[in-house]
Amino acid sequence: MIFRFLILFSFCFLSHIWGYAQSFQMNERCQQAYHYFMAMRVKEARNLLQEEIKANPKNILPFVLINYEDFISLVFNENPSDYHQKKYLKDKRLKLLEGSDQKSPYYLFSKALIHFQWSMIQIKYSDYWDAAWDFRKSYVLFKENEKKFPKFVVNQIFSGSQEAVISAIPSGYKWISNVLGMKGNMKHGMSKLANFIQSGESNFIEEAYLYNIYLKNYLENDVEGAAKFIQIEKIDTKNNQLFCFMAANLALNNKNAKRTEELIINRNKKDEFIPFPMLDYELGDALLRKLDYTSSIKHFKLFITESKGNFYQKDACMSISFAYYLAGNREMADHYKLKIKQIGKAESDADKLAQKFSKDGLFPDKELLKARLLNDGGYHERSLEILDKLTLKKWPLANEKLEYTYRLARVYDDLQQDDKALAKYKETIQTGSTSTAYFAARAALQAAYIYEKRNQKKQALECFQKVLDLDDHDFKNSLDQRAKAGINRIKGE
């Protein structure tokens, strides 16, 4: 039904604009449609754009803004079937723009925006080469538009985000930016985003907020700053489903499972929002981290049932397996461990780890697993209580001994006991540098953060470099990206 509408929207309504000089008018209807798209209220956005086309056939912007439906639904609500049906629409929309007002700052901006959004979509569906080229095209077009229209500040949202991201591309993918001739500077890119937000411009403000918060959190490692920004700008995490997911996801990644649970449970659940199974995945994870096995299993199963994509399916199965294992149901734990091999794809780091567990991994020590989950959820004191009881335990597996040392370091770190944390991080690096587990590399990264916080730049740089030097371990690219961002911060690049 939705697909048929898009065909109608993209082609049947073209008769309304042929014969007119097509212009770009970001009027009230278009602005509201954009807000609805960014809130994941797709049907309402579509209706407004349909009204705009009928009322104002000279306006070409509705045919640009409809690309947000693909961007939002395909990136955040993965469906391979929809992707293969819709991907030709990119070229149709770009071709349509050729007949519009090329003297408008929106002309090159719109072309760049479509390329940018489809690069993000293509990454999601593993079309990496097409994604790289579309990203480059958007990069060049945004730069060209900045030169032509320096006062058109909306450019800064996207060119700034691109510059920041390019600066921290992991070494495993660096060849792409080199071949495609793209250079980035994290400090300069982030300043562009800040300049836009401070400009008072309201068009496309939701994306400026979204990219600024994520980049501040992950590239600048300013977790408190990202959280404070959400409060200062009064980001609506209740009535905007995308912002709810963003805040819940950041809270979970920053070890605040309780906040994740609150955000998802208390969000507006009215029918105007598109279904979003990732919220069940996030809630299942948050509940597992407080050892609520029954509730977490329920939400992970909902995610697996409702999601039509391949991402995080394996990880969800592993989480269900762990929940059953900790609850004492070994039969169901083994069932879901076996199911990991049969579901989804091993594209994300989390799914790769789940796949590895399904092939050759033994179930971890129960108490160590509980300590890990509690620590990841922000329940640090409870985690430390368990770890203290394991002090004299003889570990039959080398990786469990390594994880025990690493986990102690993380709990000490989270409890602001920096000296104890550094001692355990150093021990983890020394004993785990040849392991394929991620513990040594993550220990080096966390140690670097402590030194950076203390303004001990030399030691921080050494630890960040250590992350890059360690090879053949889980989460290599994502950890390298954070290490490279840390080096850029310290060097002011």
Return the SS3 of 239: coil
pLDDT band at 9 (very low <50, low <70, confident <90, very high): very low
Listing DSSP states for 139-168 in one string gives HHHHHHHHHH-TT-TTHHHHHHHHHHHHHT
Structure tokens given for 272: 């105007």
pLDDT band at 29 (very low <50, low <70, confident <90, very high): very high
Give the whole-number percent of the chain exceeding pLDDT 70. Answer: 93
Structure tokens given for 426: 């150093």
Q: What is the mean pLDDT of residues 19-30?
A: 83
Residue 21 has pLDDT above 70, yes or no: no
Which pLDDT belongs to residue 398? 78
Residue type for position 458: K
The winner for highest mean pLDDT among 74-83, 242-251, 388-397 is: 242-251
- Rounded Cα gap, residues 249 and 161, in angstroms: 19
Which pLDDT belongs to residue 1? 43
Question: Containing H/E element for 489?
Answer: helix 476-491
Which pLDDT belongs to residue 431? 94
Residue 279 has pLDDT above 80, yes or no: yes
What pLDDT, in 10s, does the model give residues 153-197? 999 999 999 999 998 876 666 556 665 677 888 999 999 999 999
- Rounded Cα gap, residues 433 and 394, in angstroms: 21
Residue 32: CB atoms within 10 Å: 15
More confident residue, 29 or 362: 29
pLDDT band at 78 (very low <50, low <70, confident <90, very high): confident
CA R_g for the chain: 24
Residue 358 has pLDDT above 70, yes or no: yes
List, in order of start, the domains of the chain with CATH numbers.
2-234 (1.25.40), 380-493 (1.25.40.10)
pLDDT band at 282 (very low <50, low <70, confident <90, very high): very high
Question: Containing H/E element for 232?
Answer: helix 223-232
Tally of CA atoms within 13 A in the half-sphere of 464 that contains its CB: 24
Listing DSSP states for 396-424 in one string gives SSHHHHHHHHHHHHHHHHHTT-HHHHHHH
Q: What is the mean pLDDT of residues 70-81?
A: 90
Return the SS3 of 22: strand
pLDDT band at 477 (very low <50, low <70, confident <90, very high): confident
Which of 19-28, 55-64, 455-464 has the lowest average pLDDT? 19-28
Return the SS3 of 100: strand
Q: Are 120 and 210 in contact (CB under 8 A)?
A: no
Give the whole-number percent of the chain exceeding pLDDT 90. Answer: 81
Tally of CA atoms within 13 A in the half-sphere of 489 that contains its CB: 24
Which pLDDT belongs to residue 15? 42
